[in-house]
Amino acid sequence: MNVDSVTNSVFSTPQTAAAAGADRQEMSTDFETFLKMLTAQMQNQDPLNPIDSADYAVQLATFSNVEQQVKTNDLLTSLGQQMGAMGLAQFAGWVGMDARVAAPANFDGALVTVFPTAASAADSAVLIVSNENGVEVSRSNIDLSGDPIDWAGVDSDGQLLPFGIYSFSVESYANGDLIATDQAQIYSQVNEAKFLNGEMIIVTDGGIEVDANKVTALRAAAN
């Protein structure tokens, strides 16, 4: 085994505590093997043509650099876990509050307050409501003021829709041409905060997962 093979076997970023432990165990085993190979290389070298001592120094330095990289990766993983715990403590205070975010809403019979924002160049706008299957269930013209709209859970004919998940988008038009489609924001209660794949995630009514960084406002939960 040469230094390159040792390098390839240990130069992987640990992802979990178990993986980190396995890397450290492999590192220790590889280092012992490396020393045995280096000792054998020194004992069996041609006395009339000995290996340059500088070559030994390069091999030792290379392996030392790899070892330090593994330790650095372990440290970064630990710091990341600590930051995740700190983030959870911060976002735990959001649980039970209403968060304003561009995300679907869980309609349970109560009015859903929608915050539609049309493109700045628009001269008209339409609010589109779609069910969880992406099927359009309602379409209505709205003004460009950006004032909130209370959606009562009815379709374009005024018929009450089934309870469930609905999303809201705004189509912006200029001179009759569609120029933009943007998701509208709604308020939804935060039921859970969690650290997932390096990101802080909040879970709102209906089990909808949202990046916490996309929350634009918080308020006390409506009674």
CATH number of 95-219: 2.60.40.4070
Q: How far apart are CA 59 and CA 56, in angstroms?
A: 5
Instruction: Name which of 155, 134, 144, 207 is nearest 180 in CA terms.
Output: 144
User: What are the Cα distances from residue 213, in Å, to 99, 192, 206, 220?
Assistant: 11, 15, 19, 19
Assigned token pair, 44: 């069996």
Spell out the residues 6+ positions from residue 95 whose beta carbon is closer than 8 angstroms to its own. Answer: 190, 191, 192, 193
Q: What is the pLDDT along the chain (223 residues), one digit of tens a residue?
A: 444 443 343 333 344 445 555 555 555 566 677 677 777 777 777 777 776 667 767 766 776 666 676 666 665 555 455 544 455 567 778 888 899 999 999 999 999 999 999 999 999 999 999 999 999 999 999 999 889 999 999 998 999 999 999 999 999 999 999 999 999 999 999 998 887 777 788 899 889 998 888 888 888 887 6
pTM for this structure?
0.59
User: Length of the chain, please?
Assistant: 223
